[in-house]
């Protein structure tokens, strides 16, 4: 085992993320079915909710099923997935649809749930040894660099035109997420989850004329309800912090964040900092990647880390300021605690993943259904231009879309003994009808990201589909609208880091960010320490190797 791989397998990804042979005659797809109920099951689905079963059956009947190969009957796959449970995020849909997979193919699959802290190590150990324990990996997108470097997964575009397999709409996927399922000009992943961070807020409070008047009196200007910049978000958070705006007799919070080491706070910083760091190409197209434009992580010519640039430092200063506009306890909060503060009605705003939009509709966890506001991640008028060596002062904010998170989706192990059956499962779950059902029912943890998730004119979804999944209609409009803006209306996007060594870099980054947030070191010192550690990691893996993979992953042409 080489040193790089030994180190890779020894490093646990400690960041909990909320945060997956023959060609004989064909088998006819089963006829459309009507709901039937038995103990704990309705229409073959593990649910006791008749409406859930009804809508799932409609999706199943409408989805393309291909022409399943009779040779698959009696075979079994094994799927490795993040451990969310039978009705939890990412793993839940595997349980929900398993009986239907068996109906279609005569095959079945085992589900192996793995805690996130162990997921990468167990998957990579299986791949490195060639054991082939797992046929399908519901993987985090930042694993790809290691996959490609070691030739551990197989491309799936070889199956696209085979009539045995269901057809799915790759053009419908938000381009930023679709790129995470590819490497170079090959497809490796199927469609599933579509992660991004957006800003959530209490619509009933921000739009209340009483609070708007109070804001103007105290702050001296009209409340910026649209919250287009982080500077405006900070002013609103500071204004509401420690006021009893929810009427419970106790002071409440301006913002809630998860800033604990290992609590994924670095993702907060990633989304927040992008508009301070990433600027568009001044020509056509604005998304062109150059040495100075549309880059966030490393200089694409030298592989020098950019993480301690003046733009990153100013963004960290903003994160520190925001962290003081909420409870000090959140410096030690993970995802669940930060989300609970917002969902329980004690914080005016938070910024995080689609889970917040879904959970806000669950009356067992939320008191804010019908009060949810959401928008795409804010920008800033003061980004740093590395080529000019100065901060800009723009008339309009620099808006940068993000795909922060894992965007959990399936890939096929090179060592699978049933790659064709594995692809059948992937293609079937990727069909618009089934994927959209998973999106519309929030308990699945599958976030929106396709044209069939969006409302007109962006896509074909209907409010009624989300209402059927338990959403308040207005909340759904704001939630889905925020995602639509992020994926389709922002002019440029933050790069996604998925080179070998990414988890090590993120873990170290997380530690140093916490040192700054808790006041142990200055923002500049925290990011200088990160820079030094990233230089060491790059050298350890090999600068030339990583530079080539980095350039490929961000679309930079030397």
Query: What was the pLDDT predicted at 38?
Result: 52
For residues 311, 314, 316 and 321, what is the CA-based torsion angle, rounded to 10 degrees?
A: -150
Let me know if domain 3-195+407-448 sits in CATH 3.40.5.10.
Answer: no
Query: What was the pLDDT predicted at 343?
Result: 96
Q: How far is CA 414 from CA 23, 71, 126, 408, 502, in A?
A: 21, 21, 11, 19, 22
Hey, CA dihedral for 468, 469, 475, 477, is it positive or negative? Answer: negative
Hey, CA dihedral for 352, 357, 363, 368, is it positive or negative? Answer: positive
Query: What was the pLDDT predicted at 262?
Result: 76
How far is it, in rounded angstroms, from Cα 340 to Cα 487? 26
Q: Residue written as tokens 């440029």?
A: 492
Query: What was the pLDDT predicted at 421?
Result: 98
What single-letter DSSP state applies at residue 450?
Answer: B
Read off the tokens for 504: 């090590």
Query: What was the pLDDT predicted at 36?
Result: 52
Give residues with Cβ within 8 angstroms of 413, minimum separation 6: 126, 127, 132, 134, 135, 136, 137, 152, 153, 154
The region, left, alpha or beta by phi > 0 then psi within -120 to 50, assigned to residue 234 is alpha
Query: What was the pLDDT predicted at 206?
Result: 97
How far is it, in rounded angstroms, from Cα 322 to Cα 273? 13
Distance from the first to the final alpha carbon of the chain: 32
Q: Residue written as tokens 């575009």?
A: 157
How far is it, in rounded angstroms, from Cα 68 to Cα 421? 9
Query: What was the pLDDT predicted at 33?
Result: 52
Query: What was the pLDDT predicted at 4?
Result: 40
> Per-residue DSSP letters for 220-239?
SS---TT--BHHHHHHHHHH
Q: Give, for 351, the enclosing helix (H) or strand (E).
A: strand 349-352
Query: What was the pLDDT predicted at 378?
Result: 98
Answer for the pair 51, 466: CB distance below 8 angstroms, yes or no: no
Read off the tokens for 377: 């991640």
Q: How far is CA 330 from CA 109, 257, 342, 430, 523, in A?
A: 40, 6, 12, 37, 18
How far is it, in rounded angstroms, from Cα 291 to Cα 243? 46
Read off the tokens for 18: 């909320």
Sequential pLDDT tens for the chain (558 residues) = 433 443 333 333 323 333 332 223 333 334 445 445 555 789 999 999 998 999 999 999 999 999 999 999 999 999 999 998 999 889 999 999 999 999 999 999 999 999 877 888 899 999 999 999 999 999 999 899 889 989 999 999 999 999 999 999 999 999 989 999 999 889 999 999 999 999 999 999 999 999 999 999 999 999 999 999 999 999 999 999 999 999 999 999 999 999 888 777 788 899 999 999 999 999 999 999 999 999 999 999 999 999 999 999 999 999 999 999 999 999 888 888 999 999 999 999 999 999 899 889 989 889 999 999 999 999 999 999 999 999 999 999 999 999 999 999 999 999 999 999 999 999 999 999 999 999 988 789 899 999 999 999 999 999 998 898 889 999 999 999 999 999 989 999 999 999 998 988 988 999 999 999 999 999 999 999 999 999 999 999 999 999 999 998 898 998
Query: What was the pLDDT predicted at 537?
Result: 96
pTM above 0.95, yes or no: no
Please name which of 31, 29, 60, 28 lies closest in space to residue 44, comparing C-alpha atoms: 60
């Amino acid at each position: 085992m080489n040193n790089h791989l030994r180190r890779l397998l020894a490093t646990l990804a400690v960041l909990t993320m909320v945060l997956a042979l023959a060609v004989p005659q064909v088998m006819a797809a089963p006829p459309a079915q009507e709901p039937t109920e038995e103990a704990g099951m309705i229409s073959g689905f593990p649910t006791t909710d008749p409406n859930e079963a009804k809508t799932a059956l409609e999706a199943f009947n409408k989805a393309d099923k291909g022409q399943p190969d009779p040779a698959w009957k009696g075979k079994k796959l094994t799927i490795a997935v993040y451990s969310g449970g039978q009705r939890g995020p990412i793993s839940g849909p595997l349980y929900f649809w398993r009986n239907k997979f068996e109906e279609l193919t005569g095959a079945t699959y085992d589900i192996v749930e793995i805690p996130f802290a162990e997921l990468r190590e167990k998957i990579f150990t299986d791949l490195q040894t060639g054991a082939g324990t797992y046929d399908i990996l519901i993987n985090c997108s930042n694993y790809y660099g290691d996959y490609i470097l070691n030739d551990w997964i197989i491309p799936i575009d070889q199956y696209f035109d085979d009539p045995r397999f269901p057809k799915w709409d790759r053009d419908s996927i938000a381009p930023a997420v679709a790129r995470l399922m590819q490497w170079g000009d090959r497809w490796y992943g199927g469609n599933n989850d579509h992660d991004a961070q957006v800003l959530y807020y209490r619509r009933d409070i921000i739009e209340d004329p009483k609070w708007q008047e109070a804001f103007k009196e105290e702050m001296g200007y009209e409340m910026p309800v649209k919250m287009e910049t982080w500077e405006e978000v900070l002013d609103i958070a500071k204004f509401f912090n420690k006021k009893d705006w929810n009427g419970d007799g106790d002071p409440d919070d301006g913002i809630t964040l998860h800033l604990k080491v290992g609590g994924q706070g670095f993702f907060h910083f990633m989304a927040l900092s992008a508009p301070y760091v990433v600027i568009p190409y001044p020509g056509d197209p604005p998304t062109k990647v150059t040495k100075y434009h549309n880059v966030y992580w490393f200089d694409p010519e030298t592989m020098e880390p950019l993480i301690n640039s003046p733009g990153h430092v100013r963004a960290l200063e903003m994160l520190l300021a925001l962290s003081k506009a909420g409870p000090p306890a959140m410096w030690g909060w993970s995802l669940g605690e930060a989300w609970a503060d917002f969902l329980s009605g004690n914080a005016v705003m938070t910024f995080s993943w689609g889970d917040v939009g879904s959970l806000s509709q669950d009356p067992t966890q939320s008191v804010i259904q019908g009060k949810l506001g959401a928008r795409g991640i804010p920008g800033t008028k003061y980004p740093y231009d590395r080529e000019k060596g100065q901060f800009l002062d723009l008339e309009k904010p620099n808006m940068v879309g993000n795909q922060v998170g894992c965007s959990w989706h399936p890939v096929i192990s090179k060592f699978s003994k049933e790659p064709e059956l594995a692809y059948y499962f992937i293609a079937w779950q990727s069909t618009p009808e089934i994927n959209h059902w998973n999106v519309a029912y929030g308990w699945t943890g599958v976030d929106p990201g396709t044209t069939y998730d969006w409302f007109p004119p962006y896509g074909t979804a209907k409010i009624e589909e989300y209402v059927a999944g338990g959403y308040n209609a207005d909340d759904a409009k704001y939630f889905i609208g925020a995602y639509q803006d992020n994926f389709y209306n922002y002019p440029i996007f933050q790069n996604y880091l998925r080179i070998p060594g990414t988890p090590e870099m993120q873990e170290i980054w997380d530690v140093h960010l916490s040192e700054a947030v808790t006041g142990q070191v200055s923002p500049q010192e925290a990011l200088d320490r990160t820079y030094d550690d990233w230089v060491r990691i790059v050298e350890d893996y090999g600068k030339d190797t990583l530079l080539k993979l980095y350039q490929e992953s961000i679309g930079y042409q030397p």
